[in-house]
Amino acid sequence: MSYLFSSESVSEGHPDKVADQISDAILDQFLAYDDRARVACETFVTTGQVVIMGEVRSDVYIDLQTIARNTIKRIGYTKAEYQFDGNSCGILSAIHEQSDDINRGVDNGNDDEQGAGDQGMMFGYATNETENYMPVSLDIAHLIMSTLADIRKEGKFMTYLRPDSKSQVTVQYSDAGIPERIDTIVVSTQHDDFADDDTMLAQIKDDVLNILMPRVKSQIHSEKVLALFGGDIKYYVNPTGKFVIGGPHGDTGLTGRKIIVDTYGGKGAHGGGAFSGKDSSKVDRSAAYAARHIAKNMVAAGVADEMLVQVSYAIGVARPMNIYVNTYGRSRVAMTDGEIAARIERLFDLRPKAIERSLKLRQPMYSETAAYGHMGRRPEVVSKTFTSHYHEKKTMEIELFTWEKLDRVDDIKREFGL
């Protein structure tokens, strides 16, 4: 019997995502001027207020207020009527220096054997149901949100849109785990006040169906994904009826509260560690990226149609405690999952410093990850300019989403005889 599976996404204006983006913008600013900085930065946002917390070890001084305000304004919180805007919100910093007890385990005098910044387990996942090896429910949910944000920023259609929004996509799967059709799409978007609630609901639903969704589908190039959009999809648009109060005024936001949106939409597994605001010595982030890199390249190489990879670490220890693989019975090689894991251990160096080097994680590359997912994105090289009251203006060529590169497929095929 077929089954249903759902994933959600949120916009860059969602309060938790506002917090994530401020934390990663601060991390990028530190890395732009000190590529050895150690940063663990969290942000809290609420009505008219931002609190920046965490631990930093760096030789450079960063203007946290300017970074936070610029990030908030870029997202779209620029009006006093939102009760949270980049020009007038209060900003409190509670940043202090990283503990020597933590730093001792990381900086042990041997760069190659740099210890993990914390204990924990991290997961990477990939499936061949989409071209970017992501769960189709999450991929579409992200695309709905990013497209809605594009429409809002263009200011030509749906001009009532405000920054906060959420989406959810439910997909029907066959017993064999193959997507068959989209069952339900939920879109909730913050909006300006309307004179009449009934007119408002009708207008927003009509615009979602006739402006947003056609534009979403026009960006999908996979025929098998487009085939999931049948005429019997159930749409729920602003099902509560009204969504004027939103963003940090409608709900508090905190860094790291959207870790499932950030990863695989509930597919596979998650070790519980957040990403945003953490430099790559924190394996919560770097090892999760490395595990995704492995899983994606393994599926692309044809080892399996679906794969979950787990790695775990002890604080201060370089080599992972384990590598675990689950192919969900969809392996294409005559090996057990344990044997596949042993081959992965031979192919990939998962010491924290090796991950940093291979994925180039000491670049200021993280602001772009903080909304619409860290996984499944397009790897590309961009030019980024950083300015500071305390340092020179700096323009850098940055390689984004390095963990999404399919650069190990040939190695894997040779190892597995494919």
Task: Extract the annotated binding site.
Answer: 14, 16, 42, 55, 98, 164-166, 242-243, 251, 257-258, 274, 278, 282
Assigned token pair, 295:
């899983």
Residues tagged in the binding site annotation for K(+)? 42
Report the C-alpha gap between 257 and 277 in whole angstroms.
12
What are the phi and psi torsion angles at 131 (to 5°)? -65, -25
Dihedral angle sign, alpha carbons of residues 232, 4, 167, 378 = negative
- Provide the Cα torsion 175, 404, 185, 150; round to 10°: -170
The closest alpha carbon to 311, from 333, 343, 289, 281, belongs to 289
Residues tagged in the binding site annotation for L-methionine? 55, 98, 251, 282
Residues tagged in the binding site annotation for Mg(2+)? 16
> Based on C-alpha coordinates, what's the Rg of the chain?
22
Report the C-alpha gap between 204 and 147 in whole angstroms.
15
- For 79-106, letters b (16+ CB in 10 Å) and e give eeebbbbbeebebeeebeebeeebbebb
Report the C-alpha gap between 134 and 128 in whole angstroms.
7
Write the DSSP symbol of residue 331. B
Hunting for tokens 């005429």 — which residue is that? Answer: 231
Q: Tell me if 173 sits within 8 A of 2, measured CB to CB.
A: yes
What are the phi and psi torsion angles at 93 (to 5°)? -105, 130
